[in-house]
A and B are shown apart, each in its own frame.
Chain A
Amino acid sequence: DIQMTQSPSTLSASVGDRVTITCRASQSISSWLAWYQQKPGKAPKLLIYDASSLESGVPSRFSGSGSGTEFTLTISSLQPDDFATYYCQQYNSYLYTFGQGTNLEIK
């Protein structure tokens, strides 16, 4: 199975900050990577697919980049609604795997 490793596990930041979360795959997954946002007690929400395509309705302050084994999710200017947990997911194979999550908390 393809292993996905996110860093950091926890990120403390302030409103207005620019933040970056990294996701690494144990083997090349081309650009078959998605990012999800999850708030407590809620279902995950799709933000980015195909590594860099913004899902409809998602604010443009979210962006994704990368290919192969290294990927990043960037939030250009943190808003209060952005404090949540973020997961990457590979879909290079039908044995989908997720990263362990990054908890973005208020500093």
Chain B
Amino acid sequence: EVQLVESGGGLVKPGGSLRLSCAASGFTLRSYRMNWVRQAPGKGLEWVSSISTSSSYIYYADSVKGRFTISRDNAKNSLYLQMNSLRADDTAVYYCARARAVAGTDFFDYWGQGTLVTVSS
């Protein structure tokens, strides 16, 4: 059974840092592009970042570029999101999501349960 379990969320002050982790099981992580998607309280879904299987291709949403860093450790079956210079509008539930490849692109077929990040003084 595919499982994605996020951890590392919590309360942090504006300007602070936090590192999220996503532990993958039930599939071979190194075979899949992985993503972070967030959802602010009461709002819609916002894609944050993606990383290719070997970490060669990395993309970020403009809203987090230069502040967030995505990484992965295939040997540890883990995905990470280092978040620096956090702002109040980064407050959200952060989901990791697996991407299933199809004809040169991919979509999100499995999601974790999410971890809440609250940025507040």
Chain A positions near chain B (C-beta within 8 angstroms): 1, 32, 34, 36, 38, 42-46, 49-50, 55, 87, 89, 91-92, 94-101
Contact = CB atoms under 8 A, between A and B. Distances in A.
Contacts of A1: 62
Given A96-B47, A97-B47, A91 B106 contact: yes
A99 to B, nearest CB: 7
Interface residues of B, number: 23
Q: Which secondary structure dominates chain A's binding surface? A: loop
Contacts, number: 58
Contacts of B45: 36, 38, 44, 87, 89, 98, 101
- Which of A45, A46, A97 is packed against the most chain B CB atoms within 10 Å? A46
Contacts of A100: 44
A92 B105 contact: yes
Interface of B: 35, 44-47, 50, 57, 59, 61-62, 95, 100, 102, 105-114
